[in-house]
Structure 1
Amino acid sequence: MDPAAEKSSIAQEVEAVDHEIGARKVGVATPAADDLDVGASIVQAQEDTQYTEEEKSAVLRKIDWRIIPLAAWACGLQFVDKSGLGAAATYGLREDLNLKGQEYSWCVSIFYFGYLAGSFISGRGLQYFHAGKFIGCAYFIWGGTLLGCVGAQNYATLLGLRFLLGYNAISPCPFYSRKPAEIINYARVLESSLVPGLLLITTMWYRQQEQSLRFGLWTVTNGILPVPFLVIYWGRAFDWNFGAKSVQRLMETPSLGLGHVDSGPVVSWRLIFLLLGLLSCITGILLFFFMPDSPVSVKWLTEREKAIAIKRLVDDQLGVKNTHFKWEQLKETLLDYRFWMMVLQMFFSQAAGNVTTNFLGIIIKVTKKASQIRNGASRLTYGPSPSIQGFGYTALKAQLYTAPNFAVQAVTQMIVSTPPTLLPRFRNFKQPLVAIASVIALIGMVILYVTPAETQYQGRRLASVIIISCSGANYTVVMAVIGTNTAGFTRKQISTSTAFFLYCVVNIITPQTFLGSESPRYHTGLAFILSFLSIYIALSFSTWLMMRLVNRARDKKALTNPAYTTGEANLDEMSGLRDETDLRNKHFRYSG
Structure 2
Amino acid sequence: MSGEAKTTDAVHAETTNNIDPSEPPEKTLAQDQAALDLSATVLTTTAYEYSEKDATRVRWKIDTHLMPVLFFTGMMSAVDKIIISNAALYGLKADLHLTGSQYSWVGSIISFGILAAEWPGAYIVQRYRLSRVVATIVVMWGVMACLTAVAKDFSSLMALRFLLGLFEGPIFPACQVYVVMMYKADEQPLRIAIYLASLATLFIGPLSYGIGRSTGASIATWKLLYITVGGVTFLWGIALFFLLPDNPATWRILSDRERYIAIDRVRVNRTGIENKKVKWYQVREAFLDPKSWVLLCGQVLICTFLGGLTTFAALIVNNLGFSPLQTVLLGMPTGVIQTASSIIVSYVGTIWPNTRCIFISATCLIPLVGTALIWKLPEDAKFARLGVYYVIYLFWGAYTLSASLPAVNTSGHSKKVTLYAMTFVAYTTGLIIGPQYFSKSFNNGYVALMSSAAIASLLFLCYALICVWENRRKDKAVAAGKFDNMNHGVDEDLLDLSETEKRDFRYQF
| TM-score normalised per structure 1 | 0.78
Cα separation, 1, equivalents of 2:384 and 2:7 = 67
- Which is higher, the Rg of structure 1 or of structure 2? 1
Q: Secondary structure at the match of 2:181?
A: helix
1:551 matched to which residue of 2? 471
Structure 1 residue 447 displacement after superposition:
1.6
Unmatched runs of 5 consecutive residues or more in structure 2: 9-26
Q: Percent identity?
A: 26
1:227 aligns with 2:202: yes
1:305 matched to which residue of 2? 258
5 Å-filtered alignment, 1:153-232, equals 153-167=152-166, 190-220=167-197, 222=198, 224-232=199-207
5 Å-filtered alignment, 1:49-198, equals 50-167=49-166, 190-198=167-175
Q: Secondary structure at the match of 1:71?
A: helix
Structure 1 residue 79 displacement after superposition:
0.9
1:389 aligns with 2:308: no
1:37 matched to which residue of 2? 37
The structure showing larger relative contact order (alpha-carbon pairs under 8 Å, at least 6 residues apart) is 2
Cα separation, 1, equivalents of 2:118 and 2:255 = 34
Structure 1 residue 125 displacement after superposition:
0.3
Structure 1 77/512 Cα, relative in aligned 2: closer, same or farther at 3 Å? same
Structure 1 residue 23 displacement after superposition:
12
1:394-413 deviation line (CA, Å, top 9, x unaligned): 11222222223222212111
Structure 1 residue 553 displacement after superposition:
5.2
Structure 1 residue 505 displacement after superposition:
2.2
1:480 matched to which residue of 2? 404
Which of the two has greater helix per residue? 2
Residue 204 of structure 1 aligns to which amino acid in structure 2?
M
1:461 matched to which residue of 2? 385
Cα separation, 2, equivalents of 1:351 and 1:450 = 20
2:508 matched to which residue of 1? 591
Cα separation, 2, equivalents of 1:150 and 1:589 = 50
1:362-397 deviation line (CA, Å, top 9, x unaligned): 12xxxxxxxxxxxxxxxxxxxxxxxx2321211122
Structure 1 287/427 Cα, relative in aligned 2: closer, same or farther at 3 Å? farther
Q: Is the 8 A contact 2:114 2:165 kept in 1?
A: yes
Unmatched runs of 5 consecutive residues or more in structure 1: 1-16, 168-189, 235-256, 364-387
1:283-323 deviation line (CA, Å, top 9, x unaligned): 11122221112112222222232222222222221211111
Residue 504 of structure 2 aligns to which amino acid in structure 1?
H
Q: Which has the higher mean CA deviation after the structures are superposed, 539-548 or 139-148?
A: 539-548
Structure 1 residue 570 displacement after superposition:
6.0
1:529 aligns with 2:449: yes
Structure 1 55/485 Cα, relative in aligned 2: closer, same or farther at 3 Å? same
5 Å-filtered alignment, 1:255-270, equals 257-262=210-215, 264-270=217-223
Structure 1 361/104 Cα, relative in aligned 2: closer, same or farther at 3 Å? same
Q: How many residues align?
A: 491
Q: Is the 8 A contact 1:413 1:473 kept in 2?
A: yes
1:275 matched to which residue of 2? 228
Structure 1 residue 56 displacement after superposition:
1.1
1:252 matched to which residue of 2? none
What root-mean-square deviation, in Å, do the aligned CA atoms of Structure 1 and Structure 2 show?
2.6
1:580 aligns with 2:497: yes
1:171 matched to which residue of 2? none
Cα separation, 1, equivalents of 2:6 and 2:253 = 29
Q: Is the 8 A contact 1:23 1:30 kept in 2?
A: no
Structure 1 480/562 Cα, relative in aligned 2: closer, same or farther at 3 Å? closer
Structure 1 residue 47 displacement after superposition:
4.2
1:240-294 deviation line (CA, Å, top 9, x unaligned): xxxxxxxxxxxxxxxxx11123554312211111111111011111222211121
Residue 93 of structure 1 aligns to which amino acid in structure 2?
L
Q: Is the 8 A contact 1:292 1:298 kept in 2?
A: yes
Q: Secondary structure at the match of 2:170?
A: helix
Cα separation, 2, equivalents of 1:466 and 1:161 = 31
Residue 41 of structure 2 aligns to which amino acid in structure 1?
S
1:10 matched to which residue of 2? none
Structure 1 residue 443 displacement after superposition:
0.5
Residue 397 of structure 1 aligns to which amino acid in structure 2?
Q
Q: Secondary structure at the match of 1:494?
A: helix
